Structure formats: C-alpha cells, structure tokens
Amino acid sequence: MFWIGLLAGAAIALLANWLVQKGVFTKWYEWVLGGLGVLALFATGQHYFSSLRENEPQSAWMGALIFGLIALYCWE
C-alpha cells in the first residue's frame, strides 16, 4: 500500500504542476470527483483480484463492472 500511495501522490503532484504550467484552472469539486474516481479504480482492482483469489469469478467480474463504471463516471 505504501508504494501505491507514493505513486498516486507523485502522479497528483505532477498533474498539478503540469496544470499550473499550462495555465489550466480547476475547481475544487473537479479534484474531489477525480479523487473519488481514483479511489473507485483502486477498489475495482482490489475487489477483482481478491474475489478471484477466493475462487469467485462471477463476483470478481460483477464487482469490477460496478466499481469500474463508478470510476468512469467520476472521471467524466
């Protein structure tokens, strides 16, 4: 989890720096929705792989579909 958090923090810092350099301004709720999208994406991976490990492939695919759609909706 440490490395995932470190990579996510570095990606957010690089994204914020790039946006400032390009002169793109974002509202606070865009950051909140983006963060929720990233959390949903992490939940998708966690649910998918843990369900496969527990030998529940149907649960893995359905959970990946649900969490994945939430992640896509938040990034829209």
Position 17 scores a pLDDT of 93
More confident residue, 67 or 76: 67
Position 1 scores a pLDDT of 67
What are 38's two structure tokens? Answer: 């990233």
pLDDT averaged over every residue in the chain: 89
Q: Which residue type does 64 have? A: A
pLDDT digits (tens, 9 = 90+) for 7-38: 888 988 998 899 999 998 889 998 888 888 88
Q: Report residue 26 CA to chain centroid gap.
A: 18
Position 37 scores a pLDDT of 87
